Amino acid sequence: MKSFIHLRKGRTPRLAHRDLDGLKDDELGRSGFYGRTAQLYRRNDPARYKPLGDYRLREVQSSTLDPGDLTDPRGQPLALFENDGCRILLSRRAAPMPFFFRAVDGDEAYFVHTGTGRFETEFGPIDYQPGDWLVIPKAITYRVVPATSENLFLIVESALELLVPDYGMLGRHAPFDPAAVFVPEPEPHTGEAGKNYEVVIRHGGEHSSIVYDFHPLDVEGWKGDLFPFKLNIRDWSPILSDEVHLPPTVHQFLANDEVMVCHFLPRPAEGRVGAERVPCYHRNADYDEVALFHGGTFLGFELPKGLISHSPQGLHHGAPELLREHARKTHHDIDRVDWQIIAIDTRRPLRVSDAVRAHDRRD
């Protein structure tokens, strides 16, 4: 339950996230920026610590990870992080699936970091390119057919339905125009006489196969409001304020009670002198945070493209103080934030895979 009172004790700025006068802005929040919050104004950088155990921030370069589907057409994506409500996986599929696939464990959302090709689905084909989100609802049969040998997908698998949130007072065309969403047209396949078609089904964390003696994508037509779709991040209009750095929840694309999917995209930087342009230090109390750096720059610095980070809930993180000082000093020289970051927040703590541990590059 949200409180209707915000108390102020000790030395604080008049308004949050601006005119800090040497203080360090540290946000403690509940319910993933939706619930009660406390802004603690510190003398020192709260992210300047050294972990002594397994509870730590992690960073891994995605190009150093080798999912099974990189070298084996029958291979599967690599699970990076998981809990009882969702999994976050990496796929680097280099060749077409020699089978069709059906996920019964939950909805899937593929983000295309690199590569081009096609998803063949029961509802019709969906071509993909970098920057695309492809949302595949639970139990839909599909097949991934890359056109290039170098592909990289970050996949969110959620046991609960992945839904586009209600943007309320923003209306029907922000932060994206629904007409920009691609929904496939049926393209029925007749198949080959005497040929069997395998469908691999993921269920309960296991894989089984069924075989049809006809092509599983034989759909002549469909109607309804349940279907796969595609949206490219270039068609997203970031919500912003010239006065204050807004919370990550304004960039939300998909959500349910277990997981939120957001993306931080190029936009004008906050223009008001004194407004912080770098997200405040925070230790999201109720959500783990995973991010994929898709590309771009931040205040003149090139982002590490392909890097995946994990920040466990309750642990301070944020840009170093030197970058915050740089942002203040260059306020009149830099007027844009050109980042492209994909963010996935999960309500339950994530278990870290052995592959991520082995390739963790953060000290």
Give pLDDT tens digits for 170-207. 888 889 999 999 999 999 999 898 999 999 999 999 99
178 shares a domain with 273: no
Q: Strand 267-268 relative to strand 336-337: parallel, antiparallel, unpaired?
A: antiparallel
240 shares a domain with 212: no
Cβ-count burial of 356 within 10 angstroms (0-12 exposed, 13-18 middle, 19+ buried)? buried
Give the CATH number, domain containing residue 267. Answer: 2.60.120
247 shares a domain with 215: no
The confidence score (pLDDT) of residue 36 equals 84
Task: Please check whether residue 94 lies inside any domain of the structure.
Answer: yes
Give pLDDT tens digits for 254-307. 999 999 999 999 999 999 999 999 988 898 889 999 999 999 999 889 999 999
Task: Please check whether residue 329 lies inside any domain of the structure.
Answer: yes
220 shares a domain with 171: yes
CA distances from 185 to 106, 127, 204, 244 (A): 23, 12, 31, 43
Task: Please check whether residue 89 lies inside any domain of the structure.
Answer: yes
Task: Please check whether residue 11 lies inside any domain of the structure.
Answer: no
178 shares a domain with 103: yes
Give the CATH number, domain containing residue 105. Answer: 2.60.120.10
Please state the pTM of the whole predicted model: 0.95
Task: Please check whether residue 18 lies inside any domain of the structure.
Answer: no
Encoded tokens for 50: 């050294």
- For the chain, how many structural domains are there in total? 2
Structural domain including 33 reads 24-49+234-359
Tell me which of 36 and 196 has the higher pLDDT.
Answer: 196
Q: Which of 232, 256, 280 is the last residue of a domain?
A: 232
260 shares a domain with 225: no
Give pLDDT tens digits for 326-355. 999 999 999 999 999 999 999 999 999 999
Tell me which of 140 and 193 has the higher pLDDT.
Answer: 140
